[in-house]
Amino acid sequence: MSEGLLKFRERLRSRKPVFLRQESWRYKRLETGWRKPKGKTSKMRRRLRGWPKLVKVGYKGPKEVRGLHPSGSIEVLVRDLKSLKGLDPVRHAVRIAHTVGERKRVAIIEKCAELGLRVLNPGIASEVPKVGGGAAEG
């Protein structure tokens, strides 16, 4: 059932418009992130033709798969080894927090391999050989 809902969610997302902040295309100082238009005479708020669409509840995906990873697993943010306790390899996928350093990241990845958990962002650069000597060599 979940697999069909995931495909349905992707089909809905492909038809969903890109929601832009009002006139963010006009002014460099405005970010493109969504802000609700609140002006009294705002053409976007009044939903006039030719203006971008507003965010509405009708664009939501199915409740059962909302917030899931595209693979259908539940994402769990992990900051330390203790967080891995009680996770199910079938239902959960691990995302390592960006604040975790390389030493602890390696330990978390090894523990996940033991438990059979999938790591969404392993990102280890220790296998890459260092090129160059750093200071100017003579």
Domain boundary among 63, 81, 96: 63
Domain boundary among 63, 80, 97: 63
Q: Structure tokens of 25? A: 């295309």
CA separation, residue 40 to residues 15, 43, 64, 94 (Å): 30, 9, 38, 46
pLDDT at 105: 93
pLDDT at 137: 53
Residues 39-91 have pLDDT tens digits of: 999 999 999 999 999 999 999 999 998 989 998 999 999 999 999 999 999 99
Residues 6-25 have pLDDT tens digits of: 899 999 999 999 999 999 99
Query: Do 75 and 87 have their domain in common?
Result: yes
Query: Do 77 and 106 have their domain in common?
Result: yes
Query: Do 22 and 59 have their domain in common?
Result: yes
pLDDT at 127: 53
Provide the residue range defining the domain that includes 16.
Answer: 6-63
Residue 124 belongs to some domain of the structure = no
- Which runs of E-coded beta strand occur in 39-136? 74-78, 92-96, 118-119
Query: Do 112 and 84 have their domain in common?
Result: yes
**What percent of the chain has a predicted confidence (pLDDT) above 70?**
89
Residue 136 belongs to some domain of the structure = no
pLDDT at 2: 75
131 has pLDDT over 60 = no
